[in-house]
Amino acid sequence: DQSGNGNDLWYQGSIQVPGSPQSRPAIATTEALMVGGSKVYSLYINPGNSYWRDGSNSGVPTGSDPEGMYMVTSGTHVNGGCCFDYGNSETTRKADAAGAMDAINFSTQCWFGGCSGTGPWVQADLEWGLYPGGSQMWNPKQQALSHDYVTAMLKNNGTTMFALKGGSTQANALTTLYDGMLPGGYSPMKKQGAIILGSGGDCCKPDGGANLSAGTFYEGAIVAGYPTDATDDAIQKNIVEAGYGK
C-alpha cells in the first residue's frame, strides 16, 4: 500500500491471514512485461492465490460511504471461476448480505445468465451476485474487453447509484458500461471495509476452500468519495502515458 494507511495485503493462507491448505501465494516472477521502457513484474493470480486485508479502521470506506476504485488487469489471463475481484469486501470473509461487497470483478463469469458473448467483462461484485448493470438482466451496453492490458473502474455512491467503465490501457477514453441506479435490495450499501484481491468475499478461510479464479493485477487504487468523470479521465490519461507493453 502506497497511501500511507498501511493497508498492505497478505495472501490468504499466510500467518497474517490464515487460510485453507489449498491457498498459497502467487509466484512473483511468473509474468514480466515492459512498462514505459522498464521491465516489471505483475501479480499473476492463478486458482489458489488471493490476497486480503482488514482496512475497516485504516481508511477504507464502510457502510453507505461513497467509494471509487480502478485496476489495470489482463484481458487474456481470465477464467470463469469465482471470483477475480478487487475492492471492498467483508471483514468476516463470509457472504454476509447484499451490499456487503463493493468490488470490481473482471472475468468471463456470467452470474445471472443471459450474457451476450463470452467476455471478459467489467462487472460489480456487490455480494450475492456479479452485476453487469443495475439489475440481474444482462446489460446490453456491456462490452468484452480482451485487450492485453485493460483498465477497469467501479464507483458507487453508496445509496442510489453506481458506474462501471472499462477499456484498453491505450485508449484515450474509457467506455461507460453502466451509469445508473443500484440494483434492488442494495440501497443503502453495507460495506465492511476489508480489501480483497483475486477472490470473492467468502473465500479461503481454513474451512472455506480456495480461490477458483485467474487474473492479473498490474496496479490499482481504492478511494473514499465518488470520483468525478474528470478524475476518471485523468487516471486513464496517466495509464496511457505509463506505456503498458512498451
Instruction: State how far the Cα of 147 lies from the Cα of 72, in Å rounded to an integer.
Output: 11
Show pLDDT as tens, one digit a residue, over the chain (246 residues).
Answer: 999 999 999 999 999 999 999 999 999 999 999 999 999 999 999 999 999 999 999 999 999 999 999 999 999 999 999 999 999 999 999 999 999 999 999 999 999 999 999 999 999 999 999 999 999 999 999 999 999 999 999 999 999 999 999 999 999 999 999 999 999 999 999 999 999 999 999 999 998 789 999 999 999 999 999 999 999 999 999 999 999 999
SS3 151: strand
Tell which residue, 245, 211, 235, has the closest CA to residue 74.
245
Q: Which residue in the block uniquely carries the three cell numbers 463469469?
A: 109
Distances (CA, A) of 142 to 18, 31, 114: 37, 28, 12
Tell which residue, 110, 44, 104, has the closest CA to residue 69.
104
202 carries an active-site annotation: yes
Catalytic one of 90, 127, 219, 232: 127
* Predicted model pTM: 0.97
Instruction: State how far the Cα of 143 lies from the Cα of 152, in Å rounded to an integer.
Output: 12
Which residues, at least 6 apart from 191, have a Cβ–Cβ distance to it below 8 Å?
A: 61, 62, 63, 64, 65, 67, 88, 99, 100, 101, 102, 158
Distances (CA, A) of 211 to 200, 218, 225, 236: 8, 19, 29, 29
Distances (CA, A) of 61 to 134, 150, 159, 242: 21, 25, 13, 28
Instruction: State how far the Cα of 7 lies from the Cα of 37, in Å rounded to an integer.
Output: 29
Catalytic one of 96, 202, 219, 232: 202
Instruction: State how far the Cα of 38 lies from the Cα of 105, in Å rounded to an integer.
Output: 28
